């Protein structure tokens, strides 16, 4: 029987509660099968070993309706379960126009925070249709399926609420595109890695304090990136080229970086990095992590020494967005299917150009401008914004084709 045919026919909502164990679902429908009912809808949830199973079925003939109720209750009691049967008409009411996935990350996630998010969804005109836990470690990640309001106003409202209550919230539109192949492009310094690469070079030149001061000003958007890049690189003039290998060895990946990349690659995504740092490091990361794309500035080396200059096209704020578009074209992925992750002001154009821009432990100006912000120190939590569960992440970790 089609959905349109069940719109005004009598139906029964059969609800089963109790301790979960194998065979309950099969047993319920085996019991119902004796009355030749049609299945209209099924929902099942298991939480801390307790089952809630709901079956919406067409009502049998008047003569057998009472017998069905008695039989279901008797079957449930035999398994020490509880049953409730509610008469009604038709199927669930249609979901409202405008559908989104709302991912909430908390460490921990409190009842007060959950109440605030749910209330703001309702105030925006949205209805929560389903709630599903994506992960319990390293953060609690919960996904709400919301209908009845458009994605953009919902995202704006929840971003404000999330900031005030101290949780991370990502809002993406629902649809088949969420499962399509994607391209994920990350910034490197303070995103993929914990370090600022130029500061690692500066430590070997003995000028880290001067370089760090200029770097911070540039990341806050107070200085033109290209000018600040040249000013910092000039301080490295005369360093022996052997320092490159030392810096590569000193680079520390952000917690969760390998897991993020490994999971994305096993799902068929393409992954790239763009950096205001240097190809001497990003090329090494590309090889080590199995990245598909990498682009950065290049330190000039002449006669085994750093000259204090960079060569080639400058990768600045506009350059990162340009490279995102270039990578998307080469990957054959529509721009709407790209995800960009970054932390600094020079990532803003890239974050805005991507289908989903994620501010990762970012400066305030970046958090305000991005589609969503993640403020926990685990890069793999970005996976939850894509609807990937912790179980799927762990399955990728346990596979045989791990990246080295």
| 3 state SS of 249 | helix
The answer to whether the beta carbons of residues 51 and 18 sit under 8 Å apart is yes
Catalytic, 41? Answer no
Q: What are the b/e assignments for 274-313, b being 16+ CB within 10 Å?
A: bbbbbbbbbbbbbeebebbbbbbbbbebeeeebbbebeee
DSSP class of residue 46 equals: E
The answer to whether the beta carbons of residues 280 and 312 sit under 8 Å apart is no
Task: Provide the strand spans (E) within 148-258.
Answer: 168-173, 183-186
The answer to whether the beta carbons of residues 53 and 76 sit under 8 Å apart is no
C-alpha–C-alpha distance, residues 242 and 120, integer Å: 56
How big is the chain by its Cα radius of gyration, in Å?
Answer: 27
**E strand or H helix that includes residue 354:** none
C-alpha–C-alpha distance, residues 310 and 223, integer Å: 18
| Polymer length of the chain | 404
Catalytic, 187? Answer yes
| 3 state SS of 188 | coil
The answer to whether the beta carbons of residues 229 and 298 sit under 8 Å apart is no
Helices (H) and strands (E) in the chain, counts: 15, 15
Q: What are the b/e assignments for 75-91, b being 16+ CB within 10 Å?
A: bbeebebebebeeeeeb
DSSP 3-state percent helix, strand, coil across the chain (nearest 5): 40, 30, 30
H-assigned helices in 317-386: 317-331, 348-353, 364-369, 382-385
Looking at 20, 30, 38, 189, which residue is catalytic? 189
The 10-19 sheet, strands edge to edge: 39-47, 50-58, 10-19, 82-89
Looking at 30, 91, 187, 343, which residue is catalytic? 187
Active site residues: 187, 189
């Amino acid at each position: 029987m089609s959905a349109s045919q069940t719109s005004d026919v009598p139906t029964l909502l059969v609800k089963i509660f109790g301790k979960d164990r194998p065979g309950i679902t099969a047993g319920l429908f085996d019991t119902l099968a004796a009355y030749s009912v049609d299945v209209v809808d099924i929902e099942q949830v298991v939480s801390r070993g307790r089952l809630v199973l709901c079956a919406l079925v067409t009502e049998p003939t008047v003569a057998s309706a009472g017998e069905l109720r008695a039989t279901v209750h008797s079957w449930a009691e035999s398994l020490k379960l509880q049953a409730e049967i509610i008469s009604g008409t038709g199927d669930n009411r249609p979901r409202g126009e405008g559908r989104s996935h709302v991912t909430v990350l908390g460490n921990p996630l409190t009842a007060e925070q959950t109440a605030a998010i749910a209330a703001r969804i309702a105030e925006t005109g949205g209805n929560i249709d389903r709630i599903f836990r994506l992960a319990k470690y390293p953060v609690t990640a919960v996904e709400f399926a919301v209908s009845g309001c458009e994605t953009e106003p919902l995202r704006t409202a929840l971003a404000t609420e999330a900031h005030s209550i101290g949780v991370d919230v990502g809002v993406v539109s629902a649809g088949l595109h969420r499962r399509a192949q994607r391209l994920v492009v990350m910034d490197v310094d303070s995103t993929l890695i914990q370090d600022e690469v130029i500061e690692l070079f500066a430590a070997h030149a003995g000028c880290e304090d001067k370089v760090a001061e200029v770097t911070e000003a540039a990341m806050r958007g107070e200085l033109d990136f290209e000018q600040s890049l040249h000013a910092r690189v000039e301080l490295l003039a005369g360093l022996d080229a052997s320092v490159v290998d030392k810096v590569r060895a000193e680079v520390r990946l952000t917690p969760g970086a390998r897991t993020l990349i490994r999971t994305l690659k096993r799902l068929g995504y393409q992954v790239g990095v763009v950096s205001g740092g240097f190809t001497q490091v990003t090329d090494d990361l590309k090889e080590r992590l199995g990245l598909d794309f990498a682009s950065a500035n290049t330190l000039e080396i002449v006669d085994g020494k750093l000259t204090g200059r960079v060569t080639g096209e400058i990768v600045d704020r506009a350059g990162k967005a340009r490279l995102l578009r270039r990578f998307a074209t080469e990957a054959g992925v529509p721009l709407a299917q790209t995800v960009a992750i970054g932390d600094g002001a020079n990532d803003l154009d890239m974050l805005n150009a991507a289908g989903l821009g994620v501010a990762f432990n970012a400066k305030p100006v970046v958090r305000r401008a991005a589609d969503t912000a993640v403020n926990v120190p685990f890069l793999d939590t970005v996976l939850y914004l894509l609807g990937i569960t912790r179980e799927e992440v762990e399955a990728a970790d346990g596979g045989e084709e791990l990246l080295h």
